[in-house]
Amino acid sequence: MSFRKLRRRVINRLDEGDRGDRAWFLITRVHLNAGRLRDIATYLYDLGVDAGRDLEAHDYEALAKLAGVTGPDPGMTLRRHHFLAMETPLNLVRRVDGRSWRKIRLTHMGAKLATTENSAALLEAVLDQVVFCREPWYTPTRVNEYRHFEVRPYTLIRQVMADSDGWVDRDEYDLFISRIRRETEAAWAIKGIREFRGLNGYERSELLEEVRRRIPGAKAYQNWRDMGLHTFSLFSIGTSTVRVDQRLLLTATLVERGRVPKPERAQQRRVAGARATALRIPEPPRNPGLATPPVAPTVNPGTEGELLVAKLLQAAGWSVVFYTNRRGFGFDIWARRGKSTMLVEVKSSFHGLGPITLTRLEHEAAKEYGQNYILAIVENVSEVPTVRFIQDPVRTLKIQKRTTREYHIARDAWAIAGQLFRLRSAQ
């Protein structure tokens, strides 16, 4: 097909019905990733918002840190963007009264996200369910406004990528994908993308100019363009796709090739001593001992000690949240009673305890939180337990700093031993 014919097809499509500048960018207006979404859901879950709870200023400050939000009013940013995306279309949270963000609750799927280890797999299932534009993923007002659209965006874009060499870029998304109203239109998009990739730079820019003309103002157009990349980020929170710069790829494409497909004139940068190629996962030998998930070589008293300490706190009226399996905190339990809070690090043994070791992270947390940091020592945990609570251990106890043995592998050694696999932009 000639450029003239392709241009006419694009113009006709843009002017058809209510397509205009309307597109799936309305799915989200903020960059999202699976890890941060899970952190937000976990914080809300720990607050007890699965039953509905008011959010205070300090809650928004904590949530802003988790979401990477900065600025003088992080709460506004969270409400307008992150929470809005978590409500529609992800259906992870709901406003209790339907209007105000003051009181929210986690949905069933939001609570599952807070407690799962594989957040990407759960979010993959969430994305698969979203229908644009239908309830419960969108509000009745939005559904009425976009009533001509009924499509599963995540399912459809994966279908298009599968028939387009495993990827699409920002321009192709703007021109051929984001305005699809029915899944039967996927073939039109696939054909258009194939033809678009055969155009020169001038012809491509001319097609994009047709989109620009339909959006009033340079700022409005740029905002619209940026929202497309936010949608790429949304699609990347699952397992099937990855966003690299201005491209969205099927994860399988990256595993197969080890890089983002590049345009003809792009320059590849090389890393000294390594060559980027397809991902090669080692093939270890058969080991019957690992045929089932490994278990600890010895019984760990830590779990029993933490459960005992939690029971004692709960009996005294404290609500507790376990942090044992969360990295980067330096304590095992967060507890609250009324306006009082404490962080508890538990050290336990089946018998008597000798010297107690604090990790660097635990020591730093104890210094930072002072009297709110409690060291709980449990001995004889499985027989006749004894428990000691020591407040502000860094300032209360004499602590000796000791070095631990570490094993270092120089970069020169590991850089040449493993096959390089790099997610990089083609631009």
Domain architecture of the chain: domains with CATH = 3-252 (no CATH), 301-396 (3.40.1350.10)
Task: Look at residue 197 in the predicted model and tell me its pLDDT.
Answer: 94
- First and final CA of the chain: distance in angstroms? 27
Q: What is the pTM of this model?
A: 0.76
SS3 302: helix
Rounded Cα gap, residues 205 and 326, in angstroms: 48
The H-assigned helical ranges of 236-321 are 251-257, 301-315
In angstroms, how far apart are the furthest CA atoms of the chain?
Answer: 85
pLDDT in tens, 42-62: 889 888 876 667 788 888 888
Average pLDDT, the chain: 83
DSSP string, 77-135: HIIIIIHHHHHTTT-SEEESSSS-SSEEEE-HHHHHHHH-S-HHHHHHHHHHH--BT-T
pLDDT band at 216 (very low <50, low <70, confident <90, very high): confident
At residue 270, the pLDDT reads 39
pLDDT score of 324 more than 70 = yes
Residue 362 reports pLDDT greater than 80: yes
Neighbours of 10 (CB within 10 A): 19
Give CA separation, 114 vs 55, 329, 333, 366, in Å.
17, 17, 17, 26
**pLDDT tens-digit profile of 143-164?**
998 888 999 999 999 999 999 9
Tell whether the model's pLDDT for residue 299 goes beyond 70: no
3-state secondary structure at position 53 = strand
State pLDDT tens for residues 174-210.
Answer: 999 988 999 999 999 999 999 999 999 999 999 999 9
What radius of gyration, in Å, describes the C-alpha atoms of the chain?
A: 27
**Per-residue pLDDT at 276:** 47
Residue 327 has pLDDT above 60, yes or no: yes
Distance in angstroms (rounded) separating the CA atoms of residues 325 and 6: 55
Provide the pLDDT for residue 132.
Answer: 92
For 375-399, how does the pLDDT look when each residue is reduced to its tens digit (9 = 90+)? 988 888 877 788 888 999 888 888 8
What value does the mean pLDDT take over residues 307-336? 86
Distance CA(200)–CA(186), nearest Å, equals 24
Query: Looking at residues 303-323, what average pLDDT do you find?
Result: 86
> From residue 187, how far is each of 131, 218, 379 by CA, in Å?
19, 31, 68
The per-residue pLDDT for range 96-139, each reduced to its tens digit, is 887 788 888 899 999 999 988 788 889 999 999 999 989 999 88
Instruction: List the single range of 181-195, 224-238, 264-278, 352-366 with lowest mean pLDDT.
Output: 264-278
Work out the percent of the chain whose per-residue pLDDT is above 70.
Answer: 83
Task: Give the amino acid at 32.
Answer: L
Q: What is the pLDDT of residues 2-31, one digit of tens each?
A: 899 999 999 998 888 777 677 776 677 788
Q: Which two tokens stand for residue 100?
A: 């105000």
Q: Please state, in angstroms and as integers, the Cα–Cα distance from residue 9 to each residue in 17, 159, 235, 310, 389, following that order.
A: 14, 21, 27, 66, 74
pLDDT average, residue stretch 327-335: 88
What pLDDT, in 10s, does the model give residues 251-297?
888 767 655 566 544 333 333 444 445 666 667 787 777 676 665 55
Residues 333 and 346 sit within 8 Å (Cβ to Cβ): yes
> What integer pLDDT is reported at residue 274 of this predicted model?
40
Q: Is the pLDDT of residue 373 over 90?
A: yes
